[in-house]
Structure 1
Amino acid sequence: MTSPSRSIALLLAATLLSGCAMSSGLNAPPPELPAQWLNQQQASRAMLEHPRWWEQFGSDELDRLVTQALDANTDLLAAAARVEQADARLAQAGASLFPSLGLNAGASRNGTIGAGGSSESYEARLNASYEVDLWGALRNSRDAAKASLLASRFDRDTVRLTVIASVVDTYLQVRYLEDSLALTEDNLRLAERLLDQVRAKVENGAVSPQDLAQQKTVVANARARLPDLRQQLHQSRYALAVLVGETPQGFRVGGGELAALTLPDIQPGLPDQVLARRPDIAQAQASLMAADYQVAAARADYWPSITLTGSGGYSSSDLSSLLRGDALYNLALSLPQALFDGGARQARIDQARAAWDEQRAGYTGTLLTALQEVDQALGNVQALADQQQYRDEAYRQAEEAYRIARIRYREGATELTDVLNAQSSFNSARQNRLDLAYDQYQSRVTLYRVLGEGGDSLVESSSSLEGPDSA
């Protein structure tokens, strides 16, 4: 067997051996759902059947704002750019598994300074180099880049989900503040109407000027609340403008009464698939897998690497006859092995292992946080629903008490203090009912967010997150 043939045979043997990759040997926590979630007797389908959950609020303006934010939000654009960077890093890592080819052409002239005569030479060579991935270092590095790409995609989905929830939440806040402003203005009108009544009584000598001073204080306090509410409304509109990628100063939002929106209906129980749909959990798992591959790649440094190189071409002293000149070739195999490095390789393994421990802790923490957030969100929805009938009853009774107090004061059967107390209770009841409605809308947004609804590529095949292959 000739030397080139032996080299080719060695290349084939090394390529076959490279199918045995090293494993990290670490045990990642299983991604299955906790048992206490799987044992739920009643599962809600309301979340899982509405990936475009914001449409359930029944606002065309809100739908438009969410669509605009998905196209123009700066945080989401930055997250998409990070995905492209991770994709490029994966392409770079994958390129190391293929041979590299290069062409080298050159010309030279040799002679002695001061002496006549010179010689010329021309050469053209095709060079090839290939590192045999015998221990899986290159493949594990590629797979780590692949897992990192998945993590960046899930991170983008987390940003997408946060942007959607922020747009809906801020839009609800705008409508809530508009309602609060209108409610305060109405309370002011009621206070001014009573002020006119008190002023008439003072002019007729029916009551003392103290009543007039008291009611003027009520009116002044009501007027003082208006500038702050208007400023809060401006700030919420500006925040919404930034979320959808517009200049705050020129942004306009129609808004409207909060009661005009539809409150999404939430069924009891926990969705069985909730953890599998949260992009932050998928991102944590992908990051853990990337760290796993990095450990396996670091361990491969203990074994020698095999690099095959070869070149072939022509050499001639005359450029015109280069391709008819001497045919040259070169085949080489290198097998470097570090015998002593002062502990550098072990330090790299220790660093990779510590990074894996960090990702494992983060993954477990993300799971626990998801359980906490969903449980709290569901409990908040139920608690707010339980308050509804009591808030409505308090409003009706306060309204009736205020009506009776005004009649009795007009007839001179009660003091102004009783009217002011009834008026304060009525104003509080109206505001409490508005606050409850706003909190109920917000509780839906929070629940959709913690359930992971609204992501893009949230469902990936489980095979794309498997750990390094065993030997």
Structure 2
Amino acid sequence: MLKNKLINQCFGVLCIGMAVTACKTPTLVQKDTKTMVTASYNGSQDSTNSGKISWRTYFSDPYLVALIDTALNNNQEMNITLQEIEISRNEIQARKGEYLPFLGLRGGAGVERTARYTQRGASEATTEIKPGKEMPDPLGDFQLQAFAHWEVDIWHKLRNAKKAAVTRYLASVAGRNFMTTNLISEIATSYYELLALDRQLAIIQQNIEIQSNALRIVKMQKEATRVTELAVRRFEAQVLNTQSLQYAIKQRITVTENKINFLLGRTPQPVLRSTGDFDSLTPRVIAAGLPTQLLENRPDVKQAELQLEAAKIDVAVAKANFYPSLGLSASFGIQAFNPTYLAKLPESLLASLVGDMVGPLINKNAIRATYKNANAKQIQAVFQYEKTLLNAFIEVSNQLSNIDNLEQSYSLKEKEVLALTQSITISNGLFQSARADYMEVLMTQRDALESRFDLVETKMQQLNATVNIYRALGGGWN
């Protein structure tokens, strides 16, 4: 009686000691999230947002739509991400299984012979046993039992671990969505670059024809002694220079095609594309909506938000390690030293029920370090979320400004191209009537070619700006 009382007192002191020491968790510095988003982009409160438009509607070119479709199915990086999502889904199942009871079956058979000159062997040898009642030697052991174990989730440590796994799974889905947006954007910009290169190649070929005609005229004038051999050689050099440009353009076309092929997960091959007039393409009108819409539209912002939420849950899981855990174990089955006795009930029945409480008392350095690391990662996640949100807002602001400036630039370059195109006809006429030097003709042709190249480049930048703003607004994934 006194012994039981002493045991109960010791157990009570142990529980109190574990509870007291568990309450002494380190004091950590916390950080709140700052949502740095302005009320509007340019003073407009219009909530119409181009980022919510489906990519199939946003991009009207059927060739571009077909390329994006293929990439979303075959892109290797996308398929790798899908497997990462599957891993995250499996992690949820693993965490869920940790706080549910574990039930199993166990069967075993063995034989044991105790050595004579051991404590157990000597005691068995000196024990007086009636004839026919001796313990079998060697002693068999046959058993079949069901067993169960359950850690009672008092502090919700296991449930929070599962909740963190679910949140990270959702973050991986958001990461996949962000990759989808970037993949669509990359294919579209490469596609428009390909169209621009086609147009530049056509311009070069037109200029080669114009310059070749000018060279023939100069040769005729030389025969008529109106110009010298120097003029002929300068015009000839100009034609050769322009002809060499087409091969650089062709190489860029090959590189851009193969970039698209890589994104589509296929071997090098020609990329089917529109053959229409590139100059007639009109950039899409953009509606940016409100900055607050980025919180739900941008997948990377959503991913950072979910990762922050998971990091906060990890802190709660790490804190629960300071508290004692309660476990329950049970078993039920049959056991005998001879297999023929297993069927003799209830003599062969065995059963057990055990409860145990385990908690840290001293030397909790590892637990403290885990707790502090979890909090540090949570603070990192706060900064990462703020950085991602700020970057999203700046990207939209930059692209809106870019669209306006490119529109003004394209309008002026159109006028420049028109003026230089007209100047070619004028310079040729003046040269033929000996009222202009051949260098003026060459310079005019060169300037006109460069201006047409610049106009195509600006048009491509305009089209790419509509792609970039679509990506910045979070379009393409939904």
TM more than 0.5: yes
Q: Secondary structure at the match of 2:154?
A: coil
Shift of 1:136: 1.8
Shift of 1:389: 2.3
Shift of 1:48: 3.8
Q: Is 310-319 or 199-208 further displaced after alignment? A: 310-319
Gaps of at least 5 residues in structure 2 are 1-24, 117-134
2: CA distance between counterparts of 1:137 and 1:365? 30
2: CA distance between counterparts of 1:235 and 1:329? 74
Query: In the superposition, relative to structure 1, how do residues 188 and 42 fare at CA in structure 2: closer, same or farther (>3 Å)?
Result: farther
The answer to whether the 8 A contact 2:109-2:140 is kept is yes
Q: In the TM superposition, what whole-angstrom CA distance separates every residue of 1:342-374 from its partner, at most 9, and x where no partner exists?
A: 522111111111111111111111111111101
Shift of 1:327: 2.2
How many residue pairs get aligned? The number is: 432
Query: In the superposition, relative to structure 1, how do residues 448 and 34 fare at CA in structure 2: closer, same or farther (>3 Å)?
Result: same
User: Who is 1:256 aligned against?
Assistant: 275
Q: In the TM superposition, what whole-angstrom CA distance separates every residue of 1:67-107 from its partner, at most 9, and x where no partner exists?
A: 00000001100111110111111111111110001111222
1:97 aligns with 2:96: no
2: CA distance between counterparts of 1:368 and 1:112? 75
User: Who is 1:453 aligned against?
Assistant: 475
- 1:254-293 residue pairs with structure 2 within 5 A? 254-257=273-276, 258-259=278-279, 261-267=281-287, 270=290, 272-293=292-313
Q: Secondary structure at the match of 1:302?
A: coil
- 1:287-326 residue pairs with structure 2 within 5 A? 287-320=307-340, 322-325=342-345, 326=348
Question: Which among 351, 354, 366 is matched to residue 344 of structure 1?
Answer: 366
Shift of 1:318: 4.6
User: Who is 1:465 aligned against?
Assistant: none
User: Who is 1:430 aligned against?
Assistant: 452
1:50 aligns with 2:65: no
Question: Which among 112, 124, 141 is matched to residue 144 of structure 2?
Answer: 124
The answer to whether the 8 A contact 2:51-2:475 is kept is yes
Shift of 1:182: 1.1
Query: In the superposition, relative to structure 1, how do residues 353 and 272 fare at CA in structure 2: closer, same or farther (>3 Å)?
Result: closer
User: Who is 1:442 aligned against?
Assistant: 464
1: CA distance between counterparts of 2:343 and 2:136? 29
User: Who is 2:406 aligned against?
Assistant: 384
User: Who is 2:6 aligned against?
Assistant: none
2: CA distance between counterparts of 1:363 and 1:113? 68
Gaps of at least 5 residues in structure 1 are 1-21, 457-471
Question: Which among 436, 444, 463 is matched to residue 414 of structure 1?
Answer: 436
Identity rate, percent: 24
User: Who is 1:184 aligned against?
Assistant: 204
The answer to whether the 8 A contact 1:40-1:270 is kept is no
Shift of 1:271: 5.9
State the one-letter code of the partner of 2:446.
Answer: S
Q: Secondary structure at the match of 1:207?
A: coil
1:145 aligns with 2:148: no
User: Who is 1:80 aligned against?
Assistant: 82
Q: In the TM superposition, what whole-angstrom CA distance separates every residue of 1:129-163 from its partner, at most 9, and x where no partner exists?
A: 11111112112211121121111111111111111
The answer to whether the 8 A contact 2:104-2:148 is kept is yes
Query: In the superposition, relative to structure 1, how do residues 310 and 73 fare at CA in structure 2: closer, same or farther (>3 Å)?
Result: same
Q: Is 136-145 or 36-45 further displaced after alignment? A: 36-45
Q: Secondary structure at the match of 1:36?
A: coil
State the one-letter code of the partner of 2:53.
Answer: H
1: CA distance between counterparts of 2:445 and 2:41? 51
Query: In the superposition, relative to structure 1, how do residues 318 and 368 fare at CA in structure 2: closer, same or farther (>3 Å)?
Result: same
Query: In the superposition, relative to structure 1, how do residues 206 and 439 fare at CA in structure 2: closer, same or farther (>3 Å)?
Result: same
Question: Which among 382, 390, 394 is matched to residue 372 of structure 1?
Answer: 394
2: CA distance between counterparts of 1:180 and 1:454? 29
User: Who is 2:119 aligned against?
Assistant: none
Query: In the superposition, relative to structure 1, how do residues 139 and 253 fare at CA in structure 2: closer, same or farther (>3 Å)?
Result: same
The answer to whether the 8 A contact 1:45-1:271 is kept is no
User: Who is 2:176 aligned against?
Assistant: 156
Q: Is 73-82 or 424-433 further displaced after alignment? A: 424-433
User: Who is 1:41 aligned against?
Assistant: 44
User: Who is 1:71 aligned against?
Assistant: 73
1: CA distance between counterparts of 2:33 and 2:425? 64
Shift of 1:439: 0.8
Q: In the TM superposition, what whole-angstrom CA distance separates every residue of 1:262-296 from its partner, at most 9, and x where no partner exists?
A: 53222476465133211111111111111111111
State the one-letter code of the partner of 1:256.
Answer: T
Shift of 1:407: 1.4
1: CA distance between counterparts of 2:156 and 2:470? 42
State the one-letter code of the partner of 1:283.
Answer: Q
1: CA distance between counterparts of 2:215 and 2:473? 51
| Rg (Cα) greater in structure | 2
State the one-letter code of the partner of 2:378.
Answer: W
1: CA distance between counterparts of 2:240 and 2:47? 50
Query: In the superposition, relative to structure 1, how do residues 40 and 275 fare at CA in structure 2: closer, same or farther (>3 Å)?
Result: farther
Q: Secondary structure at the match of 1:330?
A: strand
2: CA distance between counterparts of 1:117 and 1:412? 128
State the one-letter code of the partner of 2:219.
Answer: R
The RMSD of aligned alpha carbons is 2.6
1: CA distance between counterparts of 2:114 and 2:271? 83
The answer to whether the 8 A contact 2:64-2:191 is kept is yes
